[in-house]
Amino acid sequence: MKRATTPRIVITGLGAVTPIGNSVSEFWSAMMAGTSGAAPITRFDATEFETRFACEVKNYDPTQHISRKEVQRMDLFAQFAMSAAVMAVEDSGINFETTNRERVGVIFGSGIGGMWTYHHQQQNLYERGGKPDRISPFFVPMLISDIAAGHIAIRWGLKGPNYGTVSACATSSHAIADGLMIMQRGMADVMLVGGSEAVICPMGVGGFNAMKALSTRNDSPATASRPFDKDRDGFVMGEGGGVLVLETLEHAERRGATIYAELAGIGLTDDAFHITQPAAGGEGAVRSMRMALEDAEIEPSEIDYINAHGTSTPFNDRSETAAIKTVFGDHAASLSVSSTKSMTGHLLGAAGAIEAVATVLAIKNSQLPPTINQHTSDPDCDLDYVPNAPKHKTVRAALSNTFGFGGHNATLAFRAYTP
């Protein structure tokens, strides 16, 4: 039970760089059109790889938001982070010149960090004689996962709580959850939270191929990500970044901010079962969703929409469906569930942030993103997955699920804002 003095936390700004759009408006329009971001890989020669396609960010120009000098000293994941942060801050309308920046923090995660930086620097080392003086002095600062949070803070002089989160595919949901908890403890008035990822590289694709985790539908990339479909054969790797501006309601109202929705509660658990596979029946996911509902003081019957983890893998989609049925009982047949990964691919550490943006927009716009590529029903996946086309629906409250290797589970509960 929350204390009577616990502040309400609202979302006042959104930013996104995704495989289907390099702004929030482009992202939303593409989702409503059921657009797939999957296409043959262009970032490297994938001819010899088992999977030769991915959901890459397209036509991205970092210099729209970052100076050319800074771009040279930032890995691609940090560039995505900064672009999304700039857009979110602009969207929020907040003026940091008139804000107490010691009360503004940044929690920003990446599941893997600067994998392209490691790739290039290792090439420099071994292709130029193995001499260590070939390693850039910016190698470590470009590589480390927490550096995005540091860059964002430096950009605006934000001196509140600041660090990175790492929990595989649950990374940026944990960043959002931490932002909520920090503000509820009274340590900040504003938090920039989210995550980014950029690992469509030889070791990234090769590593997930070695695990047999990726779809190999090379003849039809746009139909490869098919969450909850009987013929799903693995996830499609994505990249990008997402940022949410969180504020206490009091702070947002004081400056006359536009409010998208309320971040009402969180659920954080672990399966303690297996390094990659979910627990039977989605047991950890069940506890995560129940915890989020309890924290938000929302009844299961009030949830109208769930943005699912929905990876398009045999194990996850079956166990997540079972978990939803366990938590919601008969109401599971009435609520809508969709996986935006069917369009964006799986953004790994950035998935939670991008999907939180999608969930907030679904509440704000009373419109649900579809799960595309729904063609063959699976008897183990028999909920309303908003198949192939968006659905108009008033959303009183919604959940966003993210589950990561290591058994990490994170559920975010959002509610339509009412004064």
- Does the annotation count 346 as an active-site position? yes
Per residue, what are the HEC states of 27-73? HHHHHHCCCCCCEECCCCCCCCCCCCEEECCCCCCHHHCCCHHHHHC
* Whole-number Å distance between alpha carbons of 145 and 142: 8
Query: For residue 140, which amino acid is it?
Result: V
* Whole-number Å distance between alpha carbons of 356 and 309: 11
Q: Could you say which of 65, 174, 251, 346 is catalytic?
A: 346
- Does the annotation count 309 as an active-site position? yes
Q: Could you say which of 65, 251, 309, 408 is catalytic?
A: 309
Q: In what order do the strands lie in the sheet with 408-415?
A: 162-163, 104-109, 190-197, 240-248, 9-17, 261-270, 408-415, 397-404, 303-307, 336-338
- What is the DSSP pairing of strand 39-40 with strand 53-54? antiparallel
Long-range Cβ contact pairs of 119-128 (< 8 A, separation 24 or more): 119/201, 119/202, 119/203
- Does the annotation count 169 as an active-site position? yes
* Whole-number Å distance between alpha carbons of 15 and 25: 9
Question: How many Cβ atoms are within 10 Å of 157's Cβ, its own excluded?
Answer: 11
* Whole-number Å distance between alpha carbons of 50 and 401: 29
Q: Could you say which of 169, 201, 251, 381 is catalytic?
A: 169
Angle (CA) 91 93 94, round 5°: 125
- Residue positions annotated with a catalytic role: 169, 309, 346
